[in-house]
Amino acid sequence: MKKQFRKIDIVVFVFTGLVIVGMFLYLAIAWKSIPDRIPANFTTSGEILTYESKGYLFSVPIALLLMSSVLIVAGCIPSAWNIPKVKITPKNEPYIRVCIRAMIDIMLLLITIAMSITFLSLLNGRPAPLFPLIILGVLFLGNCIFWCIRTTRIAKQIGE
């Protein structure tokens, strides 16, 4: 039987899980001290546009849980991998699987960091800092491009 997950995959999954549990745990512990209405949307200059109930804070860990679940499941289904110009065959599948898993691990880490920044910003009633989120977005896109190119090259070397 094939080894489904590498050690690094498990480390990333556990890290993301701990962040999600930490967010829920913090909300459970600090719930009474969180104001009933929290700033939710801001202008580019930092002025508050809208307020939401404090229950809105649950949207961040729930969204992170859903996104991480989709990524983990997608990494387990080779037919879901849509890599341009690459046909998954029994010969190249183990190599492609490693590339896809690496891409998913990095995506999961970047999403976890971005959602943590968003969560902390909501808790502090301030807009999320734009520069780190832009950097994370660029890294996310670069990660996808890098691993798609690498996967295509590996498939050509092995022979589709």
**Structure tokens of 113?**
């960091």
pLDDT by residue (tens digit) across 142-159? 999 999 899 988 888 887
pTM: 0.88
pLDDT of residue 1 exceeding 70 = no
pLDDT of residue 74 exceeding 70 = yes
Helix (H, G, I), strand (E, B) or coil at 93: helix
Task: Work out the average pLDDT over 27-36.
Answer: 94
56: exposed, middle or buried (Cβ count in 10 Å: 0-12, 13-18, 19+): middle
Task: Work out the average pLDDT over 69-74.
Answer: 90
Task: Work out the average pLDDT over 21-30.
Answer: 96
pLDDT of residue 160 exceeding 60 = no
CA distance between the termini of the chain: 23
To the nearest 5 percent, what fractions of the chain are helix, strand and coil? 70, 10, 20
Helix (H, G, I), strand (E, B) or coil at 3: coil
pLDDT by residue (tens digit) across 79-95? 777 777 788 888 888 88
pLDDT by residue (tens digit) across 39-52? 999 888 889 999 99
What is the DSSP code string of 98-136? HHHHHHHHHHHHHHHHHHHHHHHHHHHTSPPPHHHHHHH
